[in-house]
A and B are shown apart, each in its own frame.
Chain A
Amino acid sequence: MNYFLRKLGFYAVALWAALTLNFAIPRMLPGNPVDILLAKLQQRGGTVTPETRKAYALLLGGDSSDPLWVQYWDYLKNLARGDLGTSVSYYPAKVSDVILTSLPWTVVLVGVATVLAALLGVLLGAFVGWKPGTWLDSLIPATTLLAAVPYFWLALILTYFLARVLGWFPMQGGYDVVLSPGWNFEFIFSAIEYGFLPALTIVLASIAGWLLGMRNMMVSTLSEDYILTAEAKGLTPRKILRSYASRNAVLPSVAGFAISLGFVVSGSVITEQVFSYPGIGGRLLGAVTNNDYALMQGVFLFITLAVLGANLVVDLLYGIIDPRTRARS
């Protein structure tokens, strides 16, 4: 039980750190959102009076004349109520509403792609690592090319060949624009068709990490005594591979899920930009170009929350599947 409490405590601290970072970033950095917006207004030929300044400051979240701890307290209070402010670029929509409409797209896309990549990578890695030194195993270093490919560039290449040259898939968007979103067969089919290329990008770019990790652990598991014992008992190789070697070798891959998920989410944020996908990454980048600071912070918060939540679930599961972690703590 201690293990689970410790994990919950850690994620509470991580959550607090993320919230505080989100609060501190705009206040620590040299650029002042109000100044940037006013400068933009002036460039377009608007006149800036102290009243405009005050209006902008209010729009962007309160007076900055309060002491810092009061601002911090207000910020936490607003978060607890789910109030992330008003989006400037989607005015007068609330930030939370803008995020909630785009969140399902990203969650489904990244979720499906990550699970697929992890499953395929772990299976292939177990298969290859089972017989180290064979010709298949000697091809493994080639996968480092996939691991080093920038997500968004892979997206460009796939779009160019599969969508533009061969015309198999649509180039951009999340669904056919003539359809209206809803739970009907036509729309879901269209969403799958449009989501195929982004998902393929994420799977291809992230599979190498899983494969390499699994293969390395498989090789080291093979030298364990219990494998030798299993062989001496006369068990079939298939049984040893399935019940003894892969089960133990997969543990670090599960434990490393946290790190990989962060990378996948980071990669997919930019990938969405290439496909003009209606997900949360596209919203984040749109917010950056439109100086929509409230939306920017809101998206960051949501992404962090999602990643922390997924990690918490995996960590708790890990405590159940590997009893040693519970004993150690």
Chain B
Amino acid sequence: MTNLEPQTAAAAQAAQAVDPHVDAAPSENPVPEGRPRAGWRSLVPTMTPWLAIGLILVVGISLFGLIGPYFVGDPRQIRDIGLTGPSGEFPLGTTQIGQDVLAQLAYATRGSLQIGIIVGLLATALSAVFGIYGAYKGKFLDESFSLLTNVFLVIPGLPLVIVISGFVPRESRGLWTIAVVLAITSWAGAARVLRAQTLSVRNRDFVAASQVSGERSWRVIVVEILPNLLPLLAAQFVFAVIAAILGEAGLAFIGLGASNSSTLGTMLFYAQNGFALALGAWWWFVPPGLIIALFGMGLSLVNFSIDELINPKLKNLRQHRKRARRAARLERELARSTRRAGGDTAKESVR
């Protein structure tokens, strides 16, 4: 598990700090001087090198997990060349009993992505129910949902997951059991952020209008409120996927993962139990963790760009960046022109 969460906590704080009547939608961005931009353009993140890296990482690793398994050999086939380093035939070497690490990596990536998406969907759904529905209904329901959320937030997740998995017998510890357990322990942070945002959307005029015209509450939530929360939900889903992949990896590493699946965590479990570390077989334990870290980094980078759009407090960041870039360019041009004009005034113009 990581603590990517403080960022979300800060976002929640920011969302709470905003006056509920002020529209926090990114389309309200003060348009920087120059040509006015079309409204929808401000909803699409600007392509920065970091966003490009993030997209490449996410797409690349997803493709590796999706179609990689069709191109590699059998990950379970045992050969008599145990613990050989990377070579032409086996680009990532072999395990202790001669299994192809690259083949295992492809299948394990698929397994980890699968569990990440399942848990991500479950956790986002749970957080939407407790965050949005509670905040919309208000009064007692909101109070009790909010209390439940905060309680789940302070109870440390992984120890709870370990205890729960410890009590489930190994035979019945399937993929879905692990997914449900992980989802139950990881929805709380997102629910709190969603609640804060729902509270601010709920009081806007269009919601009141639809209530007055007699719409049912589920329709108000789905049609009027949910579209306003979509970017936030997307960001929470991305966080949930990262947290789930990390959580599952941790569980599998200590031997409590799903019994019938192979994930990156299971690979690390076998590497640790096969003394990969003591034998110096870095090609066995480095790649699985690296895939997790890079995939998580890719998703966070994409989230970073989304965050700069949806977080009203970060609105001025893009302007700052643009201004800094323009200042640097001007400075360069100035320096160049003064160099052409002669060194006399150089000192002055650098300033």
Contacts and interface: CB of A to CB of B under 8 A. Distances in A.
Contact of B13 (A14, A150, A255): A255
A10 interface: yes
Given A149-B289, A252-B9, 18 more contacts: A144-B296, A148-B296, A150-B289, A153-B292, A156-B268, A156-B285, A157-B289, A209-B3, A219-B313, A252-B6, A253-B10, A255-B9, A256-B13, A262-B155, A263-B1, A263-B2, A266-B1, A304-B156
Contacts of A217: 10, 13-14, 313
10 contacts: A133-B325, A148-B2, A148-B246, A160-B282, A223-B316, A255-B13, A260-B6, A262-B153, A308-B154, A311-B154
A209 B4 contact: yes
B162 A147 contact: no
Interface SS, B side? helix
Contacts of B210: none
A107 to B, nearest CB: 14
A326 to B, nearest CB: 16
Contacts of A147: 2-4, 296-297, 300
B22 interface: no
B347 interface: no
A25 B323 contact: no
B168 A31 contact: yes
Nearest to A311: B154
Interface string A252-282: 1101101111111111011001100000000
B5 interface: yes
A267 B2 contact: yes
The range of chain B's interface size is: 35 or more
B167 A29 contact: yes
A321 interface: no
A160 B275 CA distance: 12
A175 to B, nearest CB: 20
A205 B325 contact: no
Interface string A1-25: 0000000001101100110011001
A25 B157 contact: no
Interface stretch (A51-59, A63-71, A284-292): A284-292
A30 interface: yes
A21 B151 CA distance: 11
Given A144-B300, A210-B6, A259-B5, A17 B254 contact: no
Interface in A156-184: 156-157, 159-160, 164, 171
Interface in B130-162: 147, 150-151, 153-160, 162
Contacts of B160: 21, 300
A126 interface: no
Contact of A259 (B153, B158, B272, B285): B153
Interface in B1-37: 1-7, 9-11, 13-14
B317 interface: yes
A307 B162 contact: no
Contacts of A300: 159-160, 162-163
Contacts of B285: 153, 156, 160
Interface of B: 1-7, 9-11, 13-14, 50, 54, 147, 150-151, 153-160, 162-169, 172, 189, 242, 246, 249-250, 253-256, 268, 272, 277-278, 280, 282, 285-286, 288-289, 292-297, 299-301, 304, 311, 313-314, 316-317, 320-325
A206 interface: yes
A133 B277 contact: no
A311 B165 CA distance: 26
A284 B172 contact: no
Contacts of B151: 13-14, 17
Given A141-B50, A145-B293, A150-B289, A259 B9 contact: yes
B3 A33 contact: no
B189 to A, nearest CB: 6
B124 to A, nearest CB: 17
A211 to B, nearest CB: 9
Contacts of A95: none
A262 B317 contact: no
A270 B1 CA distance: 10
A269 B300 contact: no
A31 B165 CA distance: 10
A30 B172 contact: yes
A21 B277 contact: no
Contacts of A171: 277
Nearest to A29: B167
Sorted nearest first, the 7 A-B pairs with minimum C-beta distance are: A148-B296, A153-B289, A266-B158, A133-B324, A220-B313, A256-B9, A144-B300
Contacts of B5: 209, 256, 259-260, 263
A213 interface: yes
A216 interface: yes
B299 to A, nearest CB: 8
Nearest to A260: B3
Given A25-B164, A133-B320, A288-B166, A164 B14 contact: no
A134 interface: yes
A163 B71 CA distance: 37
A262 B9 CA distance: 13
Contacts of A297: 163
A299 B159 contact: yes
A197 interface: no
Interface string A189-228: 0000000000000000110111011001101101100000
Interface in A105-136: 132-134
Contacts of A36: 169
A148 B163 contact: no
Nearest to B247: A266
Given A31-B168, A148-B293, A209-B3, A307 B154 contact: yes
